Structure 1
Amino acid sequence: MFTCKKTYHDIPFAHRQHHHDGHCALIHGHNWSITLTFACHEADANGFVIDFGKVKYLKTWIDTNLDHACLFNEGDPEKDALFAQFGHLFKTYTLPSCSCEGLAQHIYEIFDPMVRFQTNGRAWVTTVEIEEDSKNSASYSSITSNC
C-alpha cells in the first residue's frame, strides 16, 4: 500500500466546548491545520497516490465551511439562541463534536467518500489529523485500510 499526506495550514476558526468546566466553555479561536493521509494499492499513471493539483475540492470545502467560522457541538444548548440573535455576525458550522478528535472524525467522514468518488475508488483517506495552534493534535483513522 502507498500513502502520501497533504496539510492545510493556518485555518482560522473558533469553537466552544459547552461541557468543559473551564475556559474552553467560552467561544475562542485557534489557527488549525488539517493533515490528510491518503492511500492506494496502485499508484496512478503518474506514480501518485493522489495528484495534489487535483484535490482543490477539499480546500474549497475547508474554505466554505471552516475558514473564519465558529464551530458548535450539535448538543450545545446555547447555540440556537446565539444563532437567532447574533448569527448574522459570524459564519457557523455545527457538527457532532467540535473537539479536535470530533473534528478529525467529522472531516474523515466527509473527505473519504469525496476522495473515493474523485479517484473512482482507487484512493481513499486513511487518517485525518487536526492540529490546534501547533500545540495540540488529535487524529482519526479508518478501521480498514482499503475499499
Structure 2
Amino acid sequence: MLTCKKSYRDIPFAHRQHHHNGHCALIHGHNWAITLTFACNQTDENGFVLDFGKVKYLKKWIEENLDHACLFNESDPEKDALLQQFGHLFKAYTLPSCSCEGLAEHIYHVFDPMVRTQTNNRAWITEVEIDEDSKNSAAYRPT
C-alpha cells in the first residue's frame, strides 16, 4: 500500500462544546487545518496515489461548508434558537460532534466516498487529522 497526504490550512470557523463546563461552551473560533492521508494499492498512470490537481472537489466542499462557518453539535439545545434568531448572520454547519475528534470522523465519512467515486475505488482515505490552531489535534482512522 502506498500513501500520500494533502493538507488544507488556515480554515477559519467557529464551534462550541455545549457540554463543556468551561469557556469552550461559548462560541469561539480557530484557524483549523485538515490533513488527509490517501492510500492505494496501484498508482495511477502518473505514478500517483492521488493527483492533487484533481481533488478540487474537496477544497470546494470545505469552502462551501466549513469556511467562515459556525459548527454545532446535533444535540446542542441552543442550536435551533440561535439559527432561528441569528441564522441570517452566519453560515451554520451541524454534525454529530464538532470536537476535533468528531470533525475528523465526520470528514472521513464525507470525503472517503467522494475519493473512492472520483478514483473508481482505486484510492481511499486512511486518516483524517484535524488541527485546532497550532496546539491541538485529533485524528480518525477507520477500523
Q: TM-score range by the shorter chain?
A: over 0.9
Counterpart residue number, 1:63: 63
- Structure 1 residue runs of 4 or more that deviate by more than 3 Å after TM superposition: none
Between the aligned partners of 1:67 and 1:28, the Cα distance in structure 2 is 14
Between the aligned partners of 1:55 and 1:134, the Cα distance in structure 2 is 25
Counterpart residue number, 1:118: 118
1:63-113 CA-partner distances (Å, limit 9, x unpaired): 000000000000000000010100000000000000000000000000000
> Could you tell me the percent identity over the aligned residues?
80
Between the aligned partners of 1:118 and 1:27, the Cα distance in structure 2 is 36
What residue identity is the alignment partner of 1:52? F
**TM-score, normalised by the number of residues in structure 1:** 0.97
Structure 1 residue 120 displacement after superposition: 0.1
Counterpart residue number, 1:38: 38
What residue identity is the alignment partner of 2:129? E
Counterpart residue number, 2:87: 87
Structure 1 residue 142 displacement after superposition: 1.5
Secondary structure at the aligned position of 1:20 is classed as coil
Equivalences for 1:1-147 in 2 at 5 Å? 1-143=1-143
**TM-score, normalised by the number of residues in structure 2:** 1.00
Between the aligned partners of 1:124 and 1:134, the Cα distance in structure 2 is 27
- Aligned residues between the structures: 143
Structure 1: segments with no counterpart, 5+ residues: none
Q: RMSD across aligned C-alpha pairs, in angstroms? A: 0.3
Structure 2: segments with no counterpart, 5+ residues: none
Secondary structure at the aligned position of 1:98 is classed as coil
Structure 1 residue 3 displacement after superposition: 0.1
Between the aligned partners of 1:110 and 1:83, the Cα distance in structure 2 is 23
What residue identity is the alignment partner of 1:112? D
